[in-house]
Amino acid sequence: MYANTNKFLYDLASHDEAIKLTQNEVAILKHLKDKDNYGAKIIEAFWDACEGKKYVSGGTIYPALNKLAEKGFLAKYEQDSDLDKRRGKNKFMYSITPKGRSALKVLDIFFARVEKYEEL
């Protein structure tokens, strides 16, 4: 991982935005780590992960998606589909960016250290 603790601290400081991500934002990044998806499917994934015990609405997820896109953690693009064309609109798809992947790595290292509690 990080042999040099000073390098780790520098990276943490330079990725301060990653440490400030909310639980939902981190979950969105993790969900998009391997595959692009659109908002409704992300909401569905959250619902399934909570086993239906917690309602996650578009009013929670879409602002988080937009914030992550504005900050460069996600890319947002239009996806053409026949169904959506019949409804007169396209779906917006989201994909994780290199900055988003970097944030997940920083958080993995941070949480591993917190779990082990190594003095920095």
Question: Looking at the DSSP assignment, which residues form a beta bridge with residue 91?
Answer: 79
pTM for the model: 0.77
CATH fold of the domain at 2-118 = Arc Repressor Mutant, subunit A (1.10.10)
Mean pLDDT of 40-54: 86
In the chain, the N- to C-terminal Cα span, in Å, equals 14
- Domain positions in the chain are 2-118
Rounded mean pLDDT of 78-83?
70
CB 54 within 8 A of CB 42: no
Could you report the per-residue pLDDT of 50-70, keeping only the tens digit for each? 887 777 888 999 999 999 999
Reported in sequence order, the residue ranges of 44-119 that DSSP labels E, i.e. its strands, are 74-79, 91-96
